[in-house]
Amino acid sequence: MPDTVVKDIEQYTEINYLTSETAEFERTDGGFLSLTTKDGRKYPRVDLYRAFPFTKPREYISVREPESKEIGVKAKEIGVIRCLDDFPENIAKLIEEQLDRRYFTPMIIKINNIKEEFGYYYWDVLTDVGTCRFTVRGGHNIVPIGEDSGRILIIDVDGNRFEIKDYASLDKKSVKKLESVI
């Protein structure tokens, strides 16, 4: 393999772990998160993404520059937080607040109705944050999480996520409605 190809591969496989010694996070006036690295680089705003949102929500958090508005320009990863427990409690809480915004997922408590028309499912549900109506395209956006856990993730046509912790714990009418679409 040519040296340039090897160097390109190494660049993409190297992980820059961010720690409390190498990264300083702060809340911006607008309520976002900024980052200053040990080598003096300043990022006025960063975005956070969980690599394993369901199994390791406090580990392997990708810190990236915001998405560019230019077509075809992807957000550059600055580094990865190995574990939030490696940061002081106040900084870990600040990071978790940002993650909670990105991964806001209302919990479905009761299913009032699910109506199917032309491959779309129209949901009317009660969640832990109130009544909600949303549309899901096809059954492939109703995803079991884990084996035999009863936990279900539902993704609507706008990319919003809803979760059912354990569908067997819902009332009988809700379970019957859910089973008709899964």
pLDDT tens track for 13-41? 678 999 999 999 999 998 899 999 999 99
Domain limits, the chain: 3-102, 108-179
**pTM flag (> 0.85):** no
Residues 6+ apart with CB under 8 A from 49: 61, 62, 64, 102
pLDDT tens track for 71-104? 666 778 999 999 999 999 999 999 999 998 888 8
Q: Which two tokens stand for residue 146?
A: 């884990």
The C-alpha angle with vertex 69 and arms to 10 and 97, in degrees rounded to 5, equals 80
Question: For residue 175, how many C-alpha atoms fall within 13 Å in the half-sphere facing its CB?
Answer: 10
The C-alpha angle with vertex 99 and arms to 77 and 93, in degrees rounded to 5, equals 110
User: Which residue type, as a one-letter code, is found at position 56?
Assistant: K
